[in-house]
Amino acid sequence: MDTNAHPTSPTARWELYRLLGEPIRLRLLALSAEDELSINELAELVGEAQPNVSKHVAALRRAGLLGMRKQGNRVLVKVADVTGDAVVRDALSAGRALVTDDGSLARVPELVRARDAASRAFFDANETELEPDSLPPELPAYLSALAPLVPHRELAIDVGTGDGRLLDVLAPVFTHVLAIDRSPRQLARAKKRVLARGYANVELLEGELDDASVKRRLKKHEGADVVFASRMLHHAAKPQKTLAQLGELARPGGSIIVIDYVAHEDEALRDQQADVWLGFDPTELRDMAREAGLSRPEVRALPSLLHKGARTADAHVAWQVLVARRPT
């Protein structure tokens, strides 16, 4: 038989009748019309050896009646879109009567449900748990999946990147990420993270916000879509000036996101973390943003449960986030 002949072409008609004269092929055709099934599943349903089923499936496929696809070692079979042919429709009807009578058609849903039995058993027996204060290792994959929901994500800048923790959030979302820090030692730690994660879209840069090297990096962009500064403002000698510099890194209409402490009285952090400022009052933070030339500043508290689990000196201090924009 010509393997390229369609079952509805005149040259294939007599061979089509001969092909469909085997009851097992009619049964295989009807079962494959019910659901996409593997060769092994079909063999189990019709009670035939797998090699014999493979032979009949191959004949039906050559005739253009069955479609096949591979998934690993499994071959999945489904009826092709040839039901416009009266002979094929009659064959499907006859095959359906056969598999209804022998009970194999009724077993198809049960066989399909059994596919995930091993998965159910695996997860029921799996006792591996993350600590409540641990982030899932697959978090970058989740963030990559969410990335298309962010409308402007060409460039993000992480100011005061430190050891690069925020890069695990930014790199999966933004096309390019520029991470800036004035400490060579901190940048070396961030580099280890970047290499370990394989973040090819992250560039590390040593310097201050007003350095010429930073401005050179931004020449090919109008500015960043988002500028992040996480827990660095309380280290700035002049916070308002720093906010203005952050704004200059953003494109017109771009966002500035600052995460920092709410005002507190823990003087110990001056020694433990070299903090210059003991946080900021929300109203003070909004006013500083306006005076720095940023528009629409909003400040909101961050849920304490999101950071109090951290084993750090500042875990007990309340955090807040400032979101503002560079005027258009």
Average pLDDT in the 87-114 region?
Answer: 92
- Residue with the bigger pLDDT between 36 and 314: it is 36
Exposure string of 76-102, with b = 16+ CB inside 10 Å and e = fewer, is: bbebbebeebeebeebbeebbebbeee
Task: Check if the beta carbon of residue 327 is closer than 8 Å to that of residue 295.
Answer: yes
pLDDT value, residue 2: 41
Q: Which fold has domain 139-325?
A: Rossmann fold (3.40.50)
Task: Specify the pairing of strand 250-261 against strand 319-325.
Answer: antiparallel
284: enclosing H helix or E strand: helix 282-291
Please report the pLDDT score of residue 3 as a whole number: 39
Q: Per the structure block, which two tokens stand in for 63?
A: 């005739």
CA gap 196, 287 in Å, rounded:
40
Q: What is the pLDDT of residue 216?
A: 81
Fold of 10-125: Arc Repressor Mutant, subunit A (1.10.10)
CA distance 244 to 35: 62
The per-residue pLDDT of the chain, averaged, comes to 87
Q: Give the C-alpha separation, 209 to 314, whole Å.
A: 25
Q: Cα 69–74–79 angle (5° rounding)?
A: 40
Determine what percent of the chain is predicted with pLDDT higher than 90.
60
Kindly tell me the burial class for residue 106, based on how many C-beta atoms sit within 10 Å of its own C-beta (0-12, 13-18, 19 or more).
exposed
- The Cα 239–Cα 245 span in angstroms is 10
CATH 1.10.10.10-classified regions of the chain: 10-125
pTM score above 0.75: no
CA distance 166 to 228: 9
Structure tokens at 35: 């659901």
Question: pLDDT tens, 7-17?
Answer: 545 446 778 88
pLDDT of residue 306: 57
Which residues in the chain are classed under CATH 3.40.50.150?
139-325
Q: Read off the pLDDT of residues 193-246 as tens digits, 9 standing for 90 and up.
A: 999 999 999 999 998 888 888 878 877 777 899 999 999 999 999 999 999 999
pLDDT at position 204: 95
Asked if 7 and 65 count as a contact pair (C-beta separation under 8 A), the reply is yes
Give percent helix, percent strand, percent coil of the chain, each to the nearest 5: 45, 20, 35
Q: Phi/psi of residue 2, each to 5°?
A: -70, 115
- Tell me what pLDDT residue 135 has: 67
Burial of 262 (0-12, 13-18, 19+ CB in 10 A): middle
